[in-house]
Amino acid sequence: MTTILVVDDSKFFLSVLTSKLRSAGFQVIGAASIAEARTMLETRRDEIFMALLDLFLPDGPEGEVVDLAISHGVPSVVFTGNYSEDTRDRVLSKRVIDYVVKDDPSSLDYLTALVHRLEYNRSIRALIVDDATTARKYMADLLSLYQFQVIEASNGEEALQRLADTDGIRLVISDYHMPVMDGFQLIKNIRKTWRRDQVAVIGVSSSGSSTLSAKFIKSGANDFLNKPFLREEFFCRIAMNIDLLEQVDALKAAATTDYLTGIPNRRSFFERAQPLMAAAKRGQAEIAVGLIDLDHFKSINDSHGHEAGDIALAAVAQLLLAECRQTDLVARFGGEEFCVLAFNLEADKRDSYFERLRSRISDLRIDFAGNQLTLSASIGVSGNAELGLDGMLAEADFQLYRAKEEGRNRVCWLS
């Protein structure tokens, strides 16, 4: 769990912010003075991800707590009830991430969202493309402050190579005027491979042309910034674009993931199975499809309630993920039915593979409300890739029906 240090001498604000952060899934260390903050930083520095700091404290009326946190290498956000341009400039010159005025309840929401954003940023790689070393280093430094993993390139051609060689780049910030390949050409080349919802591209330029932003957007950019820019605007634009990527990712996950078990759903299974089936049809790999149906599952719901049934389904899903290989596909097809596509599984190992899955399900013990639930499963298997995916599923379904008819808790396939 991510740990946040909150320093504020107001017991009320410290309590409210701590409660809000904890309800959002964060662990909080509270301190009411510089002395307490120093103790926390010296004894628990390895736990602390970032700090939220009240600017004015009784034992540090000039914002000394900021210097203390930064001296320990802790990413910091300052909040205060007093705002002035001079104070803002002084605080931001100390390499804090942001400056928040706690003038109404919305500031708490902003702080919580900011912590979420910074935590998420740690998993994102950002690429800065600019032939001017000073400008490139400045933007790279700002992104590092915001916890991104930063990669640099001095022109468009170098940037494309970085994108090809590095996984996980979700953000590209590109200047317009560059040698070898300018910003417009870079973006057009990026869009040949990566869509707007896969990699966000923000154009930047100091040319001041009123039409430049439109040209960037038409070339495939998600956004545009004129140089020089305020660092707050820079961060807000970046956060907005990353938020959109995150929202699209969440929608995709919701569309392809079974809400109850967290494993792929039927739709995702068909999308991911097609290239594996194509390889099998070309003779590049052997393949098998198994339909798994839990026996007498209705009795669990009837005897113990649907909550018990849901827990049992989730347990079976996690068991299948653990027992199947990384190259296999595991999905919930609906109700108490699961499907496993075993890729590159030799025919002589098919029997033992699915028999092992059946045995593991039979060995499963699920504790619920003082009761120990047991399960068994019937499995129908097809290994004939010439039938295509639909044909294999139909054959597996027929074999599953056979397994049920022959007494359940067994594996059947066409010999």
CATH number at residue 229: 3.40.50.2300
248 lies in the same domain as 303:
no
**Residue 83 near residue 55, CB atoms below 8 Å:** no
Residue 224 DSSP one-character state: E
pLDDT the model gives residue 94? 87
CA distances from 381 to 19, 292, 340, 394, 411 (A): 52, 9, 9, 10, 7
CA 196 to chain centre: 17
**If you search the block for the tokens 């098919």, which residue do you land on?**
350
Of 30, 37, 27, 31, the residue nearest 2 (C-alpha): 27
Q: Give the Cα separation of 144 and 244 in Å (integer).
A: 20
pLDDT the model gives residue 406? 95
pLDDT the model gives residue 369? 87
409 lies in the same domain as 325:
yes
CA distances from 368 to 211, 311, 372 (A): 64, 8, 6
111 within a domain of the structure (yes/no)? no
> What pLDDT, in 10s, does the model give residues 144-188?
999 999 999 999 999 999 999 999 999 999 999 899 999 999 999
pLDDT the model gives residue 281? 83
359 within a domain of the structure (yes/no)? yes
Element (H, E) at 336: none
pLDDT the model gives residue 25? 92
CA distances from 175 to 103, 143, 185, 219, 227 (A): 37, 16, 11, 13, 10
φ and ψ at 56, to 5 degrees? Answer: -115, 115
Taking 3-state DSSP, the helix, strand and coil percentages for the chain, each rounded to the nearest 5, stand at: 50, 25, 30
- Where residue 331 sits, what CATH number does that domain have? 3.30.70.270
112 within a domain of the structure (yes/no)? no
Q: Give the Cα separation of 373 and 362 in Å (integer).
A: 11
* Rounded percentage of the chain residues whose pLDDT exceeds 90: 76
88 lies in the same domain as 140:
no
pLDDT the model gives residue 415? 63
Which residues does the chain have with pLDDT short of 70? 208, 415
pLDDT the model gives residue 107? 87
21 lies in the same domain as 126:
no
Domain count, the chain: 3
pLDDT the model gives residue 212? 87
Range of the domain at 24: 3-104
pLDDT the model gives residue 52? 96
